[in-house]
Amino acid sequence: MADTGLAPGLYVTATPIGNAGDIGGRARDVLAHVDLIACEDTRVSAPLLKRYGVATKLIPYHDHNAARVRPRLLRRLQEGARLALISDAGTPLISDPGYRLVREAAAQGLPVYAVPGPCALIAALMVSGVATDRFLFAGFLPTRSRARRRALSELATQHCTLVFYESARRLAASLADMAATLGAREAAVARELTKLHEDVRRASLDELAAHYQAGPAPKGEVVIVVAHQRSVSVPMTTRSTGRSPTRLTSCPCARRWRRSPISAAGRAARSMPGRWR
């Protein structure tokens, strides 16, 4: 193996979630100098790496071949190789493959290094306007409504912000189940973050459900951020006062709360160089 100045070991490396400019200098160096990069799909990662001038060999590592490929990767690590693990986008292991590889490497005393970077759940929290001091990342919910509602009722008593990954196709149905199970909490739908059509919509869960049920399914990738139960909307005034029938209470960000299809962020993303997806 060439002497690249990089210590042997497994480098778990984050890549952009949309904007190719969002890669760190260290991640680029690591990807350029490791002996092999394990990626989910070479058709996704090869163009991105080419853009960075990285010519390192790729090996597919995904749910369907992991059991077969993992022992080979571990053997290479035992022999002193430098391997990187990346996913299609964002941080490996976060709703993406890699957990068993890291676990087994660690169990064998092999070095594992984090090369942190973009992650959709963190990006969504950063712009949601929902409290970020305590949160629970719940990953993807079940696809069937009954199972989804059951999973949501188990989360309903958590005293923290909840973060979900969801497909755009199921967004309206999931929001409706969230509104039914969690109540009219504040929430944000963060879609296509760092990409051309970036959009963050902030409202209560029932308003968001109504919004997405009314139109065609949106396109792209979505994160849903839901405030904890203390910020449930409570009836405040009647319609006769002419004021809004609901108010968001108890949450420090309620004052700032407003429905805002963002578009300053979308405009900013549009003007950024390096969008790749």
Q: Which is nearer to ligand SAM, 90 or 251 (CB)?
A: 90
DSSP state of 15: B
Q: Does 22 bind ligand SAM (CB under 6 A)?
A: no
Q: How many residues bind ligand SAM (CB under 6 A)?
A: 24
Q: Are 92 and 86 in contact (CB under 8 A)?
A: yes
Q: Which is nearer to ligand SAM, 8 or 28 (CB)?
A: 28
CB of 247 to ligand SAM, least distance (A): 29
CB 221 → ligand SAM: shortest distance, Å? 3
87 makes contact with ligand SAM (CB under 6 A)? yes
Least distance (Å) between residue 259 CB and ligand SAM: 19
Tell me if 194 contacts ligand SAM by CB under 6 A.
yes
Pick from 9, 18, 129, 218: which binds ligand SAM (CB under 6 A)? 18
Q: Tell me the window of 127-135, 221-229, 240-248, 254-262 that interacts with ligand SAM (CB under 6 A).
A: 221-229
**Eight-state DSSP code of residue 273:** T
* Residue 262 in the binding site for ligand SAM (CB under 6 A): no
Whole-angstrom Cα distance, residue 58 to residue 67? Answer: 17
If binding is defined by CB under 6 A, does position 199 make contact with ligand SAM?
no
In the region spanning residues 147 to 166, those forming contacts with ligand SAM, defined by CB under 6 A, are 165-166
Distance CA 189, CA 19 (A): 19
Tokens of 85: 């693990």
Alpha carbons 58 and 50: distance in angstroms, whole number? 12
CB closer to ligand SAM out of 150 and 170: 170
Does residue 218 belong to the site contacting ligand SAM (CB under 6 A)?
A: no
Helix (H, G, I), strand (E, B) or coil at 104: helix
Rounded distance between C-alpha atoms, residue 139 and residue 94, angstroms: 8
Among left, alpha and beta (phi > 0; psi -120 to 50; other), residue 116 is beta
Output the 3-class SS for 150-171. Answer: HHHHHHCCCCCEEEEEEEHHHH
Which residues form the interface with ligand SAM (CB under 6 A)?
A: 17-18, 87, 89-91, 94-96, 119-121, 165-167, 190-195, 221-223
